[in-house]
Structure formats: structure tokens, C-alpha cells
Copies of this chain bind each other. A is one copy, B any other.
Amino acid sequence: MMTTIKDIAQRAGVSYSTVSKALNNSPLVKKETKEKILTLAKELGYEPNYAAQQLVSKQSKVIGLIWPTLERMAPSILVTKINEEISKRGYSMILSINSIDSSLEVFKRSQVDGIILFDEESHKMIDPSPHSIPLVTYGVSTNKTIPVIDVNYQDAMFKAVSYLVTLGHTKISFIGDFSPIDDRQVEKYIGFEKAMEAFNLQTNSYNFINTAGLTWYDGYVATKRLLNTSYQPTAIIGASYDISAGIIRALRESNFIIPKDLSVIGYDNIPQMANLEIPLTSIGVPIEEIAKKIVQTLFELINSLDILTPNIILEPVLNERSSCAQVVSAYQDK
């Protein structure tokens, strides 16, 4: 059987309330008594019963993260960062990969102090029961009842296009996943479309290349397809890290030199962007910032400093590396 503070008290010849104090390093206990108790605790292999502690303290010091779609590379870096942020605050993080409902159930059982919800599609139907656990979600803002940390994807695409226009580009193709299941991807697409319009750039089907997937290979294949057409863009925007990697690989295979022959700009600001064959200029909110904001908002909610920040939209920034160049004017004017 587990040893309890009572066992220790008995052996030490003191009351168990004294043991409790000693174990919590209370200044109210004489040094010698404390030492005796601590040694004894170690001897007996004492381990605190967290259920009992939680019962009285009403805190577990753990945060739950719901991540129903485990099989996605991109967020895994975010999850790692969030984990770090949470650790910094003396809390721990546990993950559940079940459906939202059952995850919520487990987390209640585990008595987590707060919940972060990662959802690709729809967190529209979560019922935020009144006395429930503090919860924030990361995703496209749709719900007004729970705080959402979000990225301004449309603005990201606007900034990307704007940057390319500054460099003289007018023939810009967007390669991304247009499937309506992922709101984030759709936002990027819309943002690109709007930006092209805003800059009065003509578009046709060659400007919108649908990868119908988010993997590297999807980007690769889509790029090959684009290259086989008569349209010759001077710049390509890749909608995600993986897709951009595929774009670069396809271009190099076709002997395009980046950025001399073609400029490429990718979405996302994960460190790996710099480790591609060509250091990729990218647009996006730094992953650390997203992690920080999510965790910060959750803790504000836990400490209920204020619940006045329902939706937080993070602004993307441009990260110049070396995959974009000025359009050579000789080509520019016919």
C-alpha cells in the first residue's frame, strides 16, 4: 500500500498535520522536526496523493490540449511550442487525440485547469457550459462564446502579393489547397484573390492552382502541372510549408533558378523555412508568437483577469530570405 502522511506521522511520533506542514516546507515547523520527517518520507517512499490534493486545492496544474487530427505535421511544431510555454508557467500539458466530446470528458476526469482546442473544421457546436473549464481555441473565428486565437490569413496573402508587386511582379500564381474542409486554407485563397484584385492584376485559371492536399508531393505535382502550361508566372506563392517545399523541388528539377528565373514565397514562419534547399522568403505569424498568445490568453481566462478579449487575430509578418528577386525590366516591358 502507498504510504500516507499518517504513516509518516506515526513513525515520527508527531501529528499528521505537522507532517503536512513539513512536507510543504512550512516555516511553522522546527528545522529538526522537518528534517526528521523529510528523511522518513524518503525512507518510506512517500508519494503525495494528487487526487486528495486536488480535492482540497481544486487545482491540478495541468492543461489539456485537444488535437483530434494527430496526423498533421505542421501543428506538431506548434504543439511542442505550446508545451514549452505551459511548462514555463509551472504547469504541465497533456494531449487527447479523441473527438472533442470525449476529450472534454477525459479532461474533466483528469481535472485539468484549462483546455486548448485545436480544431480544423468546426468548433461551432461546442457547448460552453457555464461552470466549465477555461477554454481557448486556435482556428478561424466563428464562435463568439469562446475566445479564438487566429491568424489573419487574408492579410498574409495581401502582404505577400504586395511585396511581390513592389519587386515588379505581375504574373503571380498561388498554389494551395482549395478544399473547403479547412477554413484556414480557404482564407488564404480568398486573401490572394482579393489582393490580386486590389493591385489590378489580371487573373485567370493559371493563377489559382489547386493542390487538393497539403503534402509536399501535392505541391510538387501542382507545380509541374503549372509549368506545363503556356503561362509563365514570374512568382509563385505556396500556401503552406510542405507545399512550398514541393514547389521548390519541382522548380529545381525543371532547371529553374530561384530567384533568378522565378520568385517563390511561402506561407508559415516555422524555422525550417530556412532549411529548404533555397532559404525561403515567407509570410506568416511566427509560430512562437502563436504559441505564446494561446497560452497567455488561456491563463488570463484561468485567472480571469478579464474575459474581454474574445477573439485575437494575429498579424502576419514578412520574412525576407533569398527566394525572391526583382523582375528584370527587360522582360517586363514587352
Contact = CB atoms under 8 A, between A and B. Distances in A.
Interface of A: 1-2, 45, 47, 49-52, 54-55, 60-62, 64, 70-71, 73, 76-77, 79-80, 83, 87, 92-98, 102, 105-106, 108-111, 129-131, 216-217
Given A51-B54, A51-B111, A108-B47, A95 B95 contact: yes
B70 A110 contact: no
Given A45-B129, A97-B95, A80 B87 contact: no
Contacts of A129: 45
Given A92-B98, A96-B92, A111 B50 contact: yes
A131 B2 contact: yes
Contacts of A52: 51, 55
Given A55-B51, A95-B95, A109-B62, A79 B87 contact: no
A119 B183 CA distance: 35
Contact of A70 (B47, B50, B51, B76): B76
B50 A109 contact: yes
A225 to B, nearest CB: 16
A94 B96 contact: yes
Given A52-B55, A55-B49, A111-B51, A94 B70 contact: no
A142 to B, nearest CB: 25
Nearest to A132: B47
B131 A62 contact: no
A71 B80 contact: yes
Contacts of A64: 94
26 contacts: A50-B108, A50-B111, A51-B51, A51-B55, A51-B111, A60-B109, A61-B109, A62-B106, A64-B94, A70-B76, A70-B80, A71-B73, A79-B97, A83-B97, A83-B98, A87-B98, A92-B98, A92-B105, A92-B109, A93-B97, A93-B98, A94-B106, A94-B110, A95-B97, A110-B110, A216-B217
